[in-house]
Amino acid sequence: MAYDNDNIFAKILRGEIPNATVYEDESVLAFNDIAPKTPVHVLVIPKRPYVDMDDFSVNGAPEEIGNFFAKVGEIARSLGLHEGGYRVVSNNGANAGQIVPHFHVHIMGGQKIREGSMARGME
């Protein structure tokens, strides 16, 4: 699937739509999910245009991929989530119900997440 420059996270990256930024550097942006499913629900995205996890894993440079996931852990820790635990999820494609076609990871925490509940959290 080709990357859609008009997806909502591309617009956030271009500053066309506001976001509640949690962390930003030259390659990564993290911001609060607009519809949080847990008390802490942060989305982490690479700034480069990848459609999904598959695209990122195939086309991202190993250093870029490693840096991204290191940042996910650092962000979770900076939010204090390492104390009580947290969930990291990435929905990839149709079967997973991915809505926004810019690769992203959900960090969810701040409460006990029900056994077996998925990325959309508490459904």
Active site residue 104: yes
CA distance 27 to 46: 6
In whole angstroms, the minimum distance from the beta carbon of 77 to ligand 5GP comes to 21
String of contacts with ligand 5GP for each residue 25-64, x by CB under 6 A: ------xxxxx-------x---------------------
**Per annotation, catalytic residue among 41, 102, 104, 106:** 104
**CB-based contacts of 69, cutoff 8 Å, min separation 6:** none
- Residue 59: phi and psi, rounded to 5, are -105, -10
**CB-based contacts of 86, cutoff 8 Å, min separation 6:** 40, 76, 107, 108, 109, 110
In whole angstroms, the minimum distance from the beta carbon of 71 to ligand 5GP comes to 18
CA distance 66 to 79: 20
Candidates 70, 99, 114, 122: give the one binding ligand 5GP (CB under 6 A): 99
Note the residues at the interface with ligand 5GP (CB under 6 A): 8, 17, 19, 31-35, 43, 91, 97-100, 119
Active site residue ranges:
104
